[in-house]
Amino acid sequence: MALRQIRQYGDDILRKRAKPVLTITDNVHTVLDDMLETLRDKNGVGLAAPQIGVLKRIAVVELEEELYELINPEIIAEKGVQRRNEACLSVPGKSGDIDRPAYIKIKATNRSGETYFIEAKDLLASALCHELDHLDGVLILDRALVIKDIREEDE
């Protein structure tokens, strides 16, 4: 495992649509492992492959000691609306209130090549939607109702 550099707002890769993973290889496993190590190092909740410069549909989310590794994830159901304040490792120092589905169901592939489903609500649903946005080149700056400096919120 290795720490990877997180790409910052302004890097063109963050605005590109990630390509599907066609075959799960050792390289895909390495990307997943590196993403998790990088995520934990930055005390984040989620990370998508484009954020480390890999234009593949891969994401990880770790919340409440539960790890979700997602390859080729897609939302297959959603309902309701929730508003949460979100920040992003690729947009440091900024946050914004974003409306997301209150509930989602995701279909994804795991590192063993098996299809599985995640049903999520509340913070987990927001975190998963946030990472799936990255796979489509969408940032919090595109979705937030208002962008704030994080230090402004602390006052």
Name the active-site residue from 64, 119, 131, 153: 131
**Residue 78 is among the residues annotated as catalytic for this protein:** no
* Residue environment code for 33-61, b if the CB has 16+ CB neighbours within 10 A, otherwise e: ebbbebbeeeebbbbbbbbbebebbbbbb
Of 116, 146, 148, 118, nearest in space to 46 by CA: 118
Question: Cα separation of 134 and 113, whole Å?
Answer: 22
Whether the CB-CB separation of 129 and 100 falls below 8 Å is answered with yes
Active-site residues, by number, are: 131
